A = this chain, B = another copy of it.
C-alpha cells in the first residue's frame, strides 16, 4: 500500500505531525473569533478602534513611533524600500540573494517600483559587515532578514548586527528589518523586540509564521514613514475596507504564543540533536538559533520518500510533507517548531529517529 501513497498524503495521515501548531484550517479563524465581541465595529479603510489599537500596541512593542497593519509582508516590504529610495532619490537597495523579495514575489520590486537590488553575500551564507563595506555602489536601503530563512534560519552575532547598524547610520543608508520571524529569535539574542528594532529604521513583522495567525503584517517606523506607507498601501490595493479578520486573529495568536518562543527554541535544539545523530542526516544550522532549521539528507529525494513514509506509518510521527531536491544525491526540508511538538510522546520521537538512522545506515 505504502508505495502508492505520496509523501504529502502520508504526512497528512500521521498522528503526530512534527512542525507547526496544527492544521491550517478554518477552525483557526473560528477560535480567534469566539473571543471577539460581535458588536465591535469593523475597521473602515485603515481607521477605527480595532485597527488603531492593534497598531499602537505593536508600535510600542517594537519601540517605534508608529505602525501600520498590512495584508501581507510582500506589500509592506516593497513599500518600505520604495519610501527609502524616494527619500534618497536613489532607486537602489541591497539584500541577500535568497531574500523573499528576490525569489518569492514575481519581481514586484522591479516591475512595480523599478528598484534595482544589489545581491550581497553568497546564497549559502549570511551577509557580513565586510560585504556591506565592500559594496561598490551607493544604496538607499539595506534589508536584513533575521533569521535568514532560506539558509536554515541562521543569525549573525548580535555584535555584528550592531556594527552593521552603526555603519549604515554613518553612511546614510537606511536599514530595514525583514522580521517575519522576529519574535522567534529573541530567546537566542536575549533581547527585547524593541532592542533589536532600535538598530533598524523600519521593521516588518508577520503574524502567520511562528505566531500561527492567518495572515497579516505590521510595518513600523517613524511617523512620516508610516504616513507615506499608508498612501502606498492604498495604491497597492491593500487599504481594504475591512482588515479585521486578520487583525483579530493576529492579535489573538500573538497574545497566545509570543511568550512561548523560548519553549519552541529549546524544542528545536532538542529535536535537531536527535536528528543529527542519524546517519546521513544533518541540520542547518547544527544548533538552531530559533524555532526553525533545515534538515539535509545525503540521499536522493526519490529514495528518501519511501523511507519517510514507512517511518510515518510505523511510528505515527510526521516529519515533513515535502522534500526539496538539492541535487542528485541529496535533498532537504524545513522544520518549524510550534505547539504540536510538546504533545508528541518522547518514545515516538525516539523510535522514529532510531528507525530513520537504521534505514539510512542500511542504504548503500
Contacts and interface: CB of A to CB of B under 8 A. Distances in A.
Interface string A26-63: 11111001001111111010000010000000000000
A234 interface: yes
B71 A237 contact: yes
A244 B26 contact: yes
Contacts of A50: 26
Contact of A242 (B24, B70, B236): B24
What is the oligomeric copy number?
2
Interface in A220-246: 231-232, 234-242, 244-246
B26 A238 contact: no
A352 B23 CA distance: 54
A38 B25 contact: yes
Given A75-B237, A106-B235, A40 B24 contact: no
A236 B108 contact: yes
A238 B71 contact: yes
Interface string A15-29: 000000001111111
Contacts of A111: 235
B25 A245 contact: no
Contacts of A74: 234, 236-237, 239
A30 to B, nearest CB: 5
A78 interface: yes
A24 B234 CA distance: 21
A203 to B, nearest CB: 17
Given A72-B237, A236-B75, A29 B25 contact: no
Contact of A42 (B24, B71, B239): B24
Contacts of A44: 24
Contacts of A71: 71, 237-238, 240
Contact of A33 (B33, B39, B72, B208): B33
A36 B113 CA distance: 39
A247 B67 CA distance: 27
Contacts of A41: 23-26
Nearest to A77: B237
Contacts of A240: 71-72, 215
A244 B246 CA distance: 11
Given A26-B42, A105-B235, 11 more contacts: A24-B44, A25-B38, A27-B38, A29-B33, A30-B36, A30-B38, A33-B33, A71-B238, A72-B240, A105-B237, A107-B235
14 contacts: A24-B242, A26-B37, A26-B38, A26-B40, A26-B244, A30-B36, A33-B33, A71-B238, A71-B240, A72-B238, A75-B237, A108-B237, A214-B245, A245-B246
